[in-house]
């Protein structure tokens, strides 16, 4: 994969990238619940993506990705974070990863442009799948809460 060095660069730069994500989330009025989480939690969630992006893109299996992100979706439901905020926060992480690569000032040879495009496609596919599974986990937790409430009445 030509873009593997770019993925490593993202992983190595998780700290400043995570700081940017936290600032972006905290300044977005659409993310009141997510923005109210402790900074350490927000940084850790962004770090989880940036540091392990190579694993998610290159070597993870769909069932592993499904389990991980459905679990996160369940946790966000239990934390009572609105689903739209969960999704938007992950889209912000995706945006920061792609912008980071674009802003590296790489030489713009044909191979470099191809590697950047290859990475953008891989990151896009990963986030599409991650968000899908986040939503599934969130909805399953929501349905379980409603079933439990109905059983009590």
Between 62 and 33, the more confident residue is 33
Q: Tell me the fold of 4-152.
A: Globin-like (1.10.490)
pLDDT digits (tens, 9 = 90+) for 58-110: 877 889 999 999 999 999 999 999 999 999 999 999 999 999 988 876 666 77
pLDDT digits (tens, 9 = 90+) for 110-134: 777 787 888 899 999 999 999 999 9
Distance of CA 8 to the CA centre of its chain: 16
Q: Is the pLDDT of residue 15 over 50?
A: yes
The runs of H, that is alpha helices, within the chain are: 4-12, 14-27, 32-35, 39-54, 62-78, 83-102, 110-152
Whether the CB-CB separation of 92 and 25 falls below 8 Å is answered with: yes
């Amino acid at each position: 994969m030509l873009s593997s060095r770019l993925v490593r660069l993202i992983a190595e730069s998780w700290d400043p990238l995570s700081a940017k994500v936290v600032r972006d989330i905290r300044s977005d009025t659409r993310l009141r619940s997510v923005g109210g989480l402790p900074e350490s939690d927000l940084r850790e969630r962004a770090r989880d993506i940036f540091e392990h992006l190579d694993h998610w893109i290159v070597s993870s299996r769909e069932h592993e990705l499904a389990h991980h992100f459905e679990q996160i979706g369940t946790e966000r439901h239990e934390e009572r974070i609105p689903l739209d905020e969960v999704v938007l926060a992950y889209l912000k992480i995706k945006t920061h990863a792609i912008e980071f690569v674009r802003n590296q000032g790489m030489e713009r040879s044909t191979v470099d442009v191809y590697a950047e495009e290859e990475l953008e496609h891989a990151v896009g596919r990963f986030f599409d799948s991650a968000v899908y599974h986040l939503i599934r986990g969130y909805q399953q937790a929501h349905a379980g809460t409603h079933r439990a409430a109905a059983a009590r009445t």
